[in-house]
Amino acid sequence: MALAQQLEELAIDIAREAGELARRRRTEGVAIAATKSSIADIVTEADREVETLIRSRLVDERPGDGFLGEESAAERGTTGITWVVDPIDGTVNYAYGIPVYAVSIAAVSGEPEPSRWKALAGVVFSPPTGEMFHAARGAGAWLGGERLAVNAEPSPAGALLATGFGYNPATHASDLARVARVMPMARDLRRMGAASLDLCFVAAGRFDGYFERGLQPWDHAAGALVVAEAGGRFTRVELDDIPGRPLFVASGPALFDSLLATALGP
């Protein structure tokens, strides 16, 4: 079996186990352990415990690989493969009991930096629904056993779009201006609260497109590959006003250029 598919299979197994732990901890009650970049940016004990589980399983199976996770220190590997992990994407939903969160695990090769890596495998598992989105480079995107394809064209009623608002209040005014620019092309706009699932929903044709500023590598590493393998496009554009908070856009090919141009603005 090709390396990308081996990595995908491993990620699927680990994501299922990690997702079951997250779901169990949720039923036991959730404690906020700390805040991070801003007071709205939280981490729960479960985020840390689930990342520890994922990391230890990866070390057992592939000891030489690197690791880049949301909740623990990054480590360079010796194999050229790095695992990019968000143990619970949608932590605020998770903390509030909203059943929209996911375990996101990607394997990338090359420099562990989004503009330079090549994604080989990506898995996004939604514990509340049991949905397993997965892709291996060159082998398509899947929801369980069903092959995914982005929507060819938005409906005449307009595009069903999704967005998010990062935790950095400094970008909120421009985030809202972007929403105002994009609304005329939308039939409606969703804000689910888990970027990895937003991307997988584009891949599944549940959304026509998605845009958000300021994602972290672990938020998009797996979902972006799922979009690409479903025939979609994904990009990351640095903006001048606040460096380090790029804009991300994903959609099917027919919508992509106009969505990107509108999201970027004049």
Measured from the CB atom, the residue of 4 and 93 that comes closer to ligand IPD is 93
Q: Which value, to the nearest 10 degrees, does the dihedral of the CA atoms of residues 178, 183, 186, 188 take?
A: 100
CB 197 within 8 A of CB 100: yes
86 binds ligand IPD (CB under 6 A): yes
> Interacting stretch for ligand IPD, rule CB under 6 A, among 13-21, 83-91, 139-147, 236-244?
83-91
Selected from 89, 175, 208, 229, the binder of ligand IPD by CB under 6 A is 89
Min CB(262)–ligand IPD separation in Å: 19
193 binds ligand IPD (CB under 6 A): yes
Selected from 44, 82, 91, 251, the binder of ligand IPD by CB under 6 A is 91
Measuring CA to CA, which residue among 166, 163, 198, 192 is closest to residue 180? 163
Measured from the CB atom, the residue of 101 and 256 that comes closer to ligand IPD is 101
175 binds ligand IPD (CB under 6 A): no
Measured from the CB atom, the residue of 4 and 100 that comes closer to ligand IPD is 100
CB 244 within 8 A of CB 195: no
Distance CA 89, CA 85 (A): 9
Cα Rg of the chain, angstroms: 17
Selected from 49, 65, 219, 229, the binder of ligand IPD by CB under 6 A is 219
Neighbours of 264 (CB within 10 A): 14
Maximum CA extent, the chain = 51
Measuring CA to CA, which residue among 113, 237, 241, 244 is closest to residue 166? 244
Measured from the CB atom, the residue of 147 and 191 that comes closer to ligand IPD is 191
Measured from the CB atom, the residue of 120 and 194 that comes closer to ligand IPD is 194
Residue number with the smallest Cβ distance to ligand IPD = 164
CB 110 within 8 A of CB 118: yes
CB 80 within 8 A of CB 120: no
> Interacting stretch for ligand IPD, rule CB under 6 A, among 8-16, 53-61, 148-156, 188-196?
188-196
| Site residues (vs ligand IPD, CB under 6 A) | 70, 86, 89-91, 164-166, 193-195, 212, 214-216, 219
